[in-house]
Amino acid sequence: MTTNYDVIVVGGGHAGCEAAAASANLGSRTLLITMDMTKFASMSCNPAVGGVAKGQIVREIDALGGQMGVITDRATIQFRMLNLSKGAAMWSPRAQCDKALFSALWRQTLENTPNLYLWQDSVVDLLFDEERKENQKPHIRGVRTAFGVEFTADAVILTNGTFLGGLMHVGRSSAEGGRAGDAASHGVSEKLREIGFEVGRMKTGTPVRIDARTVNFDALEPQYGDPQPAKFSFLPTTSAVENQLPCYLVYTSSEVHDTLRTGFADSPLFNGTIRGVGPRYCPSIEDKLRTFAGKDSHQLFLEPEGRDTHEMYLNGFSSSLPWQVQVAALQQIPGMENVHIYRPGYAIEYDYFPPTQLFHSLETKLVDGLYFAGQINGTTGYEEAAAQGLMAGINAHRRRMGEQPLVLHRDQAYIGVLIDDLVTKGVDEPYRMFTSRAEYRILLRQDNADARLTPVGIEIGLVTAERAAFFEQKKSAVELLKNFMHGQSVAPSEISAYLESVGSAPILQSRKLDFVLARGEVTLSGLVGCVESLREFIVANEISQEAQSEVEILIKYRGYIEREKLIAAKLHRLENIFIPADFDFASMQSLTMEARQKLTRIRPSTIGEASRIPGVSPADINVLLVYFGR
């Protein structure tokens, strides 16, 4: 037993688990400290992974060598690909999970990861080097726990979630805690504030949990998973879910709304008790009633929390109203007249640290060797947290090895968009990823996350040899099929019946297969069904369905993809113009006052970063370009 490690990760949520696994798998001797070893990567809110833009993030985590996708596939109880009626850039995988199994699988993964050690305790203090030169930044030395144990390390990653100063609210009742049943954490925020960090408060909430035995499902509308479900991990060793469980659609009514309004006077959200800023895109049910006062009904989703439990999650019914009001309102919903709940919905306030205090590596600007990841940075969502944890774990290891940090670009990954938004723009509400935040979303599709990022994972050493071999197989299959489609012609007689069946104009002479597939009505599966040479080629070369899907998207969206690549290449020039770390923006009178203040506070390292800071205008960027001789 030792108390000295290379990397210490504080917190066993989604960010902490990915950070610890990445650091350890890269070779750093890593300690993960968590308050409860039975709740690794706990799904404190909804029992699901993925969704719009979030699903793309999970596939990126998997492509880099992270664990979330693999574990999700093993815990899935329903899978749906969202937005299939829209373009391929919007397709987003989402999995309903068995939350208990998900956490158990994470524990199994962590306990069997070489170089990774676990300690159950609460961190109450941070340790810094006591001897340093004048004006030199402090360097993290380790942590002290509630049991009085001091652990030391070259790098510390804080992934404290909602536990820092956590305060839960139900009606007029409040209690300290990081989530229902778990204590809050004290000491870390106070220490960071003492050394100069800016600290804020945010708020989130979670819905009521329902006993399925007291629900009349015949009165509800079932929502089933995809008939041919896909999965998250690119590894063929994980399989698609079988025996999917349904979710159910539920609707409120004006009567339900009237009952909910009787609790508004006792709502901590409305009476000034809660001061933290909540998520605008995921409001509580009482917030919905106030914001959409003229709406008589809201759609809710009743979701199972696992195969071996009666507990269900009512998505869309987040609330901090008195528990009696929540129950009375629920019992006015058809099918829930006799409902029994396991626990009411509640709101929770917690400390966060504005992420403009970070470098793109997620290392803090004020303290060397200290990293933040997850909700501590003002984000929300399991996927956003896991992505930050993965990057912090990678970069903490690379720092120890004397290597440059890994920073993903905005045209390279949603993870790059996420971190760049946090560091350059900051947050004024809990940050959630949307496809609209990515200006290159045609490049950042869920199907090609491995093509974009697995070579990066191989280069940094996080991707296993097994994964690398599977990636090369798929890459070769995609190129084979793409070249075949470009070189093989099809006669009008072969596909005239098919083209007529899908409402597409006939071809009058032989055409290349990729030319025909580029039509909006035509699908690759349709061509496989009528073009024998294509069908034989796919079978002979064992080209997977996933590789076929990627080829179809590459052909159909070829023009859009090339255009976005050109735009990205132009903007990359700004990323290659570096700004010295100690550059004096305040002395540049030709910059606007707002630009001088924002640039001095955030201290971008490139012109590209500076251009994305709110308040820095194109005219200000031109001034910087002139100054730096461009």
Q: What is the CATH number of the domain that holds 522?
A: 1.10.10.1800
Q: How far apart are CA 310 and CA 321, in angstroms?
A: 24
pLDDT of residue 180 exceeding 90, the answer is no
Q: Are 300 and 334 in contact (CB under 8 A)?
A: no
The pTM (predicted TM-score) of the whole model is 0.93
* 25/462 Cα distance (integer angstroms): 7
Residues 557 and 592 in one domain: no
Q: What is the domain-level CATH number for residue 284?
A: 2.40.30.260
Judged against a pLDDT cut of 90, whether residue 410 lies above it is answered with: yes
Q: Are residues 523 and 588 in the same domain?
A: no
Q: Are residues 609 and 535 in the same domain?
A: no
Asked if 225 and 312 sit in the same domain, the reply is yes
Burial degree of 338 (CB within 10 A; 0-12, 13-18, 19+):
exposed
- At 488 the three-state DSSP class reads coil
> Which of 345, 367, 397 is the last residue before a domain boundary?
345
The rounded distance, in Å, linking the Cα atoms of 140 and 285 is: 42
Report the pLDDT value the prediction gives residue 358, as an integer from 0 to 100.
97
Span of 182-186, 511-515, 570-574 with lowest mean pLDDT: 570-574
Give the DSSP H/E element, type plus range, for residue 561: helix 558-575
Cα(608)–Cα(573) distance, integer angstroms? 8
Residue 275 binned pLDDT confidence (cut-offs 50, 70, 90): confident
Q: What percent of the chain has a predicted confidence (pLDDT) above 90?
A: 84
Which domain, by its residues, includes 581?
576-627
In a domain, 289, yes or no: yes
* pLDDT for residue 361: 98
Q: Looking at the domain assignment, is residue 596 inside a domain?
A: yes
216 and 325 together in one domain: yes
How many Cβ atoms sit within 10 Å of the Cβ of residue 157?
Answer: 34
Residues 510, 599, single domain; the answer is: no
Cross-strand partners of 156: 8, 370
Q: Which of 56-65, 70-79, 181-190 has the lowest mean pLDDT?
A: 181-190
Q: How far apart are CA 417 and CA 64, in angstroms?
A: 16
Mean pLDDT, the chain, integer: 94
Q: What is the pLDDT of residue 630?
A: 60
68 has pLDDT over 70: yes
Task: Look at residue 300 and tell me if it is in a domain.
Answer: yes
Residue with the bigger pLDDT between 613 and 80: it is 80
Work out how many domains the chain is built from and give that number.
3
- How many angstroms separate the Cα of 202 from the Cα of each of 189, 276, 279, 405, 591? 14, 4, 9, 29, 33
Beta bridge partners of 120: 34
